[in-house]
Amino acid sequence: MTQLQTLRHTFDPADVTVQLRAATPRLVGVTEKEKLLRQGVSYGGLLTPETRPSAVQQAAYQDALRRNGPRVAGLIAALTTHLLTAVPRPVLVSLARAGTPVGCAMTRFARRRGRPLPHHTLSIIRGSGIDREALRRIMQAHPGATLVFVDGWTGKGSIAGTLSASLPAGVPPLLAVLSDPAGVADFAATHDDLLLPHAALNATVSGLLSRTFVDADIPDGQLHGVRTEDHLRADDVTGEYLAALDALDPGTASPLDSGPRPVRPYDAVLALASSLGVHDPHLVKPGVGEATRVFLRRQPAGLLLRDAGHPDTRHLHALAQAAAIPVTLHPELPYLAAALIAPGPRTGEDA
């Protein structure tokens, strides 16, 4: 696959087959992007160039790795062990890009135990769906296998819905995540809202891959597009992150125990957002991972926190204060945090 060979990502090829195509996106600034989204332009065709991780981001990443790293490694162990036992001939298909480091960590965990666990990563975009060409290639490479789609966390469950709606008949939408506060995953390591370390960064912990996008004139038989953020190579910690999780391997996996499954917790967040003047669900991003993404690549208009002192949301509080974004406390919030995006006359596709 020549297209894949020209993509200069920094993932170890032993950890993942990257089913993405090096392409040139439409680059826009955040302000212009928000304007275009309100005009109905699809989010899936726009990309904002990434800058170096801020001091707040880097501190959040290091702090989350120190505090939550051992738990994350344990969740990876429990989830991987469960899949190897419960799923016949599993193949991991991570959803780029938040799912890609998770899939890499899972396949490395399995490999250390002598259990081959193939791992591919592909694009899924709300409004466009899953990359059907990438899916075709994966299924061709693993006939008769069970595909398990891997992501890092859930927010409202939008990606889970997109997965179900866009998969072809005969491919069950089996979703596995580390943190599932929305309660929508088939396999969840935990339903707690948890700051995964790589949520604090973007490309620099995801093989230097940008967010995926769809070209306006993408021909049949072509993969979804991505670009490598080459200017950030000096800041790349992809290998270091996976090595750190390897070193935290608990040795023996605990049985998968995700706790009680939440039932539509996002309804309470949407109602709260509506009381604050934000009625479009696409502009409400519940969960600490999704809220962090808003502050990294959208224009937040408000931040809701369950607990002002929670260490998993300290970075969000700092980012909100730096940008003069109002922060309100809601002890009844079913997530650690939720970010609001300013409403406009019309919104484009969800992030």
> Hey, where are the domains in the chain?
2-247, 266-341
The pLDDT of residue 310 is 97
Distance (Å, whole) CA 229 – CA 14: 21
Distance (Å, whole) CA 313 – CA 311: 5
CATH superfamily label, 266-341: Ribosomal protein L30/S12 (3.30.1330.30)
**DSSP H/E element including 286:** strand 284-286
- DSSP 8-class letter at 219: P
Report whether 308 contacts 329 (CB < 8 A): yes
Look-up of token digits 């008949």: 169
Cα torsion through 333, 339, 341, 347, rounded to 10: -80
The pLDDT of residue 184 is 98
φ, ψ of residue 31 to 5 degrees: the values are -65, -45
| pTM for this predicted structure | 0.93
Show the tokens assigned to 304: 């809701």
Of 257, 256, 258, 261, nearest in space to 334 by CA:
261
Burial label, 314 (beta-carbon count in 10 A; 0-12, 13-18, 19+) = middle
The pLDDT of residue 27 is 80
Of 247, 237, 207, nearest in space to 72 by CA:
247
Cα torsion through 161, 167, 169, 174, rounded to 10: -70
- Each residue's pLDDT expressed in tens, for the chain with a length of 351 residues: 333 347 899 999 999 999 999 988 878 767 766 676 676 666 666 788 899 999 999 999 999 999 999 999 999 999 999 999 999 999 999 999 999 999 999 999 999 999 999 999 999 998 889 999 999 999 999 999 999 999 999 999 999 999 999 999 999 999 999 999 999 999 999 999 999 999 999 999 999 999 999 876 666 789 999 999 999 999 999 999 999 999 999 999 999 999 999 999 999 999 999 999 999 999 999 999 999 999 988 889 999 999 999 999 999 999 999 999 999 999 999 999 999 998 765 444 444
- Omega of the bond prior to 8 within 30 degrees of 0, cis? no
Q: What angle do CA 226, 227, 230 make, to 5 degrees?
A: 155
- DSSP 8-class letter at 296: H
The pLDDT of residue 4 is 39
φ, ψ of residue 304 to 5 degrees: the values are -105, 130
Show the tokens assigned to 11: 């993932």
Cα within 13 Å of Cα(302), Cβ side: 18
DSSP 305-319: ES-TT-GGGHHHHHH
Q: Kindly report the length of the chain.
A: 351
The pLDDT of residue 236 is 98
Of 193, 121, 189, nearest in space to 154 by CA:
193
